[in-house]
Structures are given as structure tokens and as C-alpha cells.
Structure 1
Amino acid sequence: MDLKKIYGAVVRRERVAKGVSIEALAHDAGLSYSYFDSMELGKRNPSLRVIFAVADALGVEADQMVREVAQQLAAQPDEKASARR
């Protein structure tokens, strides 16, 4: 899974855990529904401004979300090493 998809999955999990709709969270973060939906699906590469706005709208720290993304990325098998075998 690539970085955008991992971030989108982290956002979606936090949003669903808090019981917030895409529409409401997108509004609170100052984003359009279509942008937010695409971001959750891993089709957007959000800017730092967007990452902070989403974290704020979710009521979590941006560094917490980025740390989780980094942990999931690090836990993935190294695709380049696998391709060499």
C-alpha cells in the first residue's frame, strides 16, 4: 500500500470511530466532499495544510496521525527486496 492510501485509511478509521460523516468532516476541515472522499480512497496527495486541517477537525494531533502512517509504512514488506528474490 502506498503512502496516500495508508493516510486515507488512517483518516477513514478515525472518522468512522468518531461517528462523523464525510460531509461533516470535510466541512469542518474546509474541504469539499469530493476532495475528502478522494483523499480517503488514497487518490489525493494532501498538503501539510490539509493534514493539519483534517487532524484538527478530527480532534487529534497531526503528528499522531503522521506517526501512525509512518508505522504502517515501516511495517510493510520491502517490495524492492521481494522483487530481487
Structure 2
Amino acid sequence: MTFRKAVQLLALGFLAMSSPAAQGAMKPSGAEMQKPPDYERAVRSEFEAVRAENTVQAYERFIRRHPGHPLIGDARKAISRLQGR
């Protein structure tokens, strides 16, 4: 899967979550959306796209977007490798 295709799929997922059909997707305060039903699959797909891009910026973006995910360790290792540490 190319990076562009992965981004398109993620964008479609976000658009689907913002539709009226996604009732209950927001807390009553409207501040936080629930994770999609296949959140883990989406995150892993995004990480594969980041690996294909293989830049420090891509890995840092992944870390910012998914701060508590177990793949953060792999992202940090990749950053270290790319920076020659």
C-alpha cells in the first residue's frame, strides 16, 4: 500500500465518522471522538505507510497522533536509526 493510498483511506475513515450516520461518535461536550471500531487496524495501516515513507518527520508525526500506542517504541527506534544513534 502506498503512502498516498493509506492517507486517502484514513481521510475516508475520518469523513465517515463525521457523517450523521456516526451517531454517538462525540461525547456530549463535543470535545472528543470515539475511536473507530477497527482502530487498531487503522493505526497499523498508518504505521506501515510511515515505514514506507521512512523519514524522521513521518515517525514523529505518528508518535504525536498515537501517543499511547505500543508501536511508539518501534517508531522511536526507527528515529534513532535514521539519526545514526
Structure-2-length-normalised TM-score: 0.28
Structure-1-length-normalised TM-score: 0.28
- The structure carrying a bigger helix percent of its residues is 1
Select the structure of larger CA radius of gyration: 2
**Relative contact order (alpha carbons < 8 A, sep ≥ 6): 1 or 2 greater?**
1
